[in-house]
A and B are shown apart, each in its own frame.
Chain A
């Protein structure tokens, strides 16, 4: 195998693209289903191997490795380039993307077993395209290439959320996701263009060089970083643009695991990590990032507590954790946010895949229809609990160190308000995740469910899933354990800030308190869930209605945007078209009148010619 990291990275990048082209163009391959899946899996698994090798090589070099080719020629050097930028961050992210993608694609073999072959092939075509685009975002050496791949990722998200496009909710959710993220992407595009006008380059390393050398004008940079943040806000589901992510759960669960937990939604955080040096020049925007992150983390955690759909809990949990990452970035310590991004990618994918296994067995998303599943599916339960403990930040699990770092970074960055929100969020995170575990795996099985059909199937058949589904679960579970044990007991890179000694005990205590609270409420019923509901009744109304954000957007859409569209439509129809219609009507009438002079008789035409000739002759003599 080659040792050139650039070749390896490009190989990793282009293999899924080739798989996509192959599956998309060769219709018989696509319609055959399984063979298409194997092509896709082979490509992405090779990408994973190449990514690991790239990381091994790249971690040995201090300087980032950059290779670019000219793309758009310009008067003074190329206007835009394409290429790859390999450093510590991008190579780690590359491994995360390819690892989760490989596991999810293997998992989907069994999860989507009942799909017709053509739909199966389509699914893998989208998947390959997604993996390529996501790696394109990760490896981009410049913001233009990043933006293109960023949009491609959005398209794949749209296609995969709407995979069951005959289902109206899925089609609607896909559109909602597309539009909401697009609202942020407009900001991103404006930011990138403004940045080019200011700096004259899109290249990330060159920009960093300019900032370090102090040759980049800081006037107007605040607007640029704010616009970049808007893009990240849409993609990474930050308040108030987070509304699309819970709806995106209409897609197949493996899609949620890959796109809406581990990779695409973290692209926003990754963008901020990549352009951290720009944000450091604009502390006011950074402050905004931190505060919005904290608000997102807290509100989403609150909303996760009242969900009854297992995937919705995980979706809000993802929004909340993205808020954690953003807060760390906003505090000025992007490294902590990036670490949480990586660990979260592993254990949240694990949780989603675990939830998928449960849904696959029970044929329902509602937690009421589940219960006592530990006995039936001990393997799934075990890995799901590993994921839950990771998310709750229990020591020796994956989320422990990264969450500590995020909290420490927030405090060290002086964001006291968001820090308090994150602490409350940590308690709530442990609470709602333990609630899921107790309701799904331990509490009494609900034999008299609301959904008679579902309840029947819930207890009719199905234990632990087959090898294609359980293997990815175990790999992710063991990875979450390994990361946790390794970073807790053996080694972890010292953070670039110091956090007070009381932080770790407090955070761990909050996590354990959350688990204990859930145990008392949902397992032993010492605390009645109804009492909790009535205590929190005032905010519960707001939470259940998602803080009326969806209603607000709907109002804006229906009464402002649509009214504006109608006004524009009226103007177009009656003023723009009206002027044209009048002119064309006149032309028609004029033609109708004029056609009567065409008698069709030869004599008349000759007379006209002769008369015209006479007139011309007189005119030439100057007598007319």
Chain B
């Protein structure tokens, strides 16, 4: 399969993730969207790694997965704290920065 197929898949996945981040009102849903976007990036890394015949992209992907796990843990912790303070996990209700 040509490289462009992998890249198109990644682009579609990224767009779905972005769409989820923008439209989801639930904070957990937003985090899931972020996950999708990161995985789209990982697909790109692996695809280029295969295409160029080097292992560098794979190693980078491993790092990215690790960081994603940490990020999710941190994100969920934030959601829980937010819920404790505001009794809600809906992102639209958290608008302290409203001008």
Interface, chain A (partner B; CB < 8 A) = 595-603, 606-607, 610
A interface: dominant SS: helix
A sample of 25 inter-chain contacts (CB < 8 A) reads A595-B99, A597-B99, A599-B95, A599-B98, A599-B99, A600-B94, A600-B95, A600-B96, A600-B97, A600-B99, A601-B91, A601-B92, A601-B95, A602-B30, A602-B91, A602-B94, A603-B21, A603-B22, A603-B24, A603-B25, A606-B18, A606-B21, A607-B22, A610-B18, A610-B22
**CB contact under 8 A between A603 and B98, given known A610-B18, A610-B22:** no
Tell me the chain B residues, 72-99 only, with Cβ under 8 Å from chain A. Answer: 91-92, 94-99
Find out whether the CB atom of B23 lies under 8 angstroms from the CB atom of A603. yes
Q: Which chain B residues numbered 34 to 73 have a C-beta less than 8 Å away from chain A?
A: none
* Complex Cα–Cα for A217 and B52 (A): 88
Assign chain B's interface to a size class.
Answer: 10 to 19
Chain B residue with the shortest CB-CB distance to A613: B18
List the A residue with the shortest CB-CB distance to B30.
Answer: A602
Q: Which residues of B contact A600 (CB under 8 A)?
A: 94-99
Report Cα–Cα, A596/B99, bound state, in Å.
6
Question: In this complex, what residue of B is CB-closest to A592?
Answer: B99
Is A598 touching B22 in the complex (CB atoms < 8 A)? no
Chain A: minimal CB distance from B99 (Å): 3
In order of increasing CB-CB distance, the 3 nearest A-B pairs are A600-B95, A600-B98, A598-B99
> What A residues does B25 contact at CB under 8 A?
603
Chain A residues with Cβ under 8 A from B95's Cβ? 599-601
Q: Which residues of B contact A603 (CB under 8 A)?
A: 21-25, 91-92
Considering residues B91, B98, B99, which has the most beta carbons from chain A within 10 angstroms of its beta carbon?
A: B99
Q: How far is the CA of A606 from the CA of B17 in the complex (A)?
A: 12
Residue of A nearest to B95 (CB): A600
- Quick one: which of A595, A598, A602, A606 has the most chain B CB within 10 A? A602
Asked if A606 and B22 sit within 8 Å, CB to CB, the answer is yes
How far does the Cβ of A589 sit from chain B's closest Cβ, in whole Å?
14
Q: Which residue of A lies closest to B27 (CB)?
A: A602
The residue on A at minimum CB distance from B25 is A603
Q: Distance in Å from the Cβ of A378 to the closest Cβ of chain B?
A: 91
Q: How far, in whole Å, are A595 and B23 apart by their CA atoms in the complex? A: 23
| Complex Cα spacing A15 to B92, Å | 79
Rounded to whole Å, the gap between the CB of A101 and the closest CB of chain B is 71
Kindly state the separation between the CA atoms of A598 and B95 in the bound complex, as whole angstroms: 10
A603 to B94, CA, bound (A): 11
- Chain A hits for B94, CB < 8 A: 600, 602
Interface centre among A596, A597, A599, A600 (most CB of B within 10 A): A600
Please, how many angstroms separate the alpha-carbon atoms of A610 and B20 in the complex? Answer: 13
Q: List, in ascending order, chain A residues with CB within 8 A of B18's CB.
A: 606, 610
Cα of A597 to Cα of B97 in the assembled complex, Å: 11
Write out the residue numbers on chain B whose beta carbons fall within 8 Å of the beta carbon of A596: 99
Q: Which residue of A lies closest to B94 (CB)?
A: A602
- Chain B hits for A601, CB < 8 A: 91-92, 95
In the assembled complex, the Cα of A568 lies from the Cα of B24 at a distance in Å of 63
Q: Which residue of A lies closest to B34 (CB)?
A: A606
B2 to chain A, nearest CB (A): 21
The chain A residue with its CB closest to the CB of B33 is A606
CB-CB under 8 A from B98, the residues of chain A are 598-600
Q: How far is the CA of A94 from the CA of B29 in the complex (A)?
A: 94
- What residues of chain B lie closer than 8 Å to A607, measured between beta carbons? 22
Distance in Å: Cβ of A600 to nearest Cβ of chain B: 3
CB of A612 to closest CB in B, whole Å: 13
| Contact of A598 with B92 in the complex, beta carbons under 8 Å | no
* CB neighbours of B91 from chain A (8 A): 601-603
Q: A603-B21, A603-B25, A606-B22 are in contact. List 17 more A-B contacts (CB 8 A).
A: A596-B99, A598-B97, A598-B98, A598-B99, A599-B99, A600-B94, A600-B95, A600-B97, A601-B91, A601-B92, A601-B95, A602-B94, A603-B22, A603-B91, A603-B92, A610-B18, A610-B22
* Chain B nearest Cβ from A176, distance in angstroms: 59
B97: chain A residues within 8 A (beta carbon): 598, 600
Whole-angstrom distance between the Cβ of B57 and the nearest chain A Cβ: 22
Assembled-state Cα–Cα distance A606/B23 (Å): 10
Q: Which residues on the A side are within 8 Å of B99 (C-beta)?
A: 595-600
A residues less than 8 Å from B96 (CB atoms): 600
> What are the residues of chain A within 8 A of B24 when measuring CB–CB?
603
Shortest CB-to-CB span from B41 to chain A, Å, is: 14
Nearest neighbor of B24 in chain A, beta-carbon distance: A603
Complex Cα–Cα for A63 and B24 (A) = 100
A97→B77 CA distance, assembly (Å)? 86
Q: Give bound CA distance, A602 to B97, whole Å.
A: 9
Q: How far is the CA of A314 from the CA of B68 in the complex (A)?
A: 98
Q: Give the CA-CA distance A599 to B18 in the complex, in Å.
A: 19
Q: How far is the CA of A601 from the CA of B22 in the complex (A)?
A: 10
Residues of A within 8 A of B21 (CB): 603, 606
Q: Which residues of A contact B23 (CB under 8 A)?
A: 603
Cα A596 to Cα B21 with chains together (Å): 23
A4–chain B nearest beta-carbon distance, Å: 78
Residues in B whose Cβ lies below 8 Å from that of A598: 97-99
* B94: min CB distance to chain A, Å: 7
Q: Report the nearest B residue to A597, measured CB to CB.
A: B99
- Complex-state Cα separation, A607 to B97, whole angstroms: 16
Please report the C-alpha to C-alpha distance between residue A602 and residue B21 in the assembled complex, in whole angstroms.
9
Chain B contacts of A599 at CB under 8 A?
A: 95, 98-99
**Residue in chain A with minimal CB distance to B98:** A600
List of A residues within 8 angstroms of B30 by Cβ? 602
Nearest residue, chain B, Cβ from A605? B97
Which residue of the partner chain A has the closest CB to B21? A606
How far is A599 from B22 in the complex, measured between Cα atoms in Å? Answer: 14
A140 CB → nearest B CB, Å: 66
Bound together, the chains give a CA A610 to CA B16 distance in angstroms of 13
* Minimal beta-carbon separation of A608 from chain B (angstroms): 10
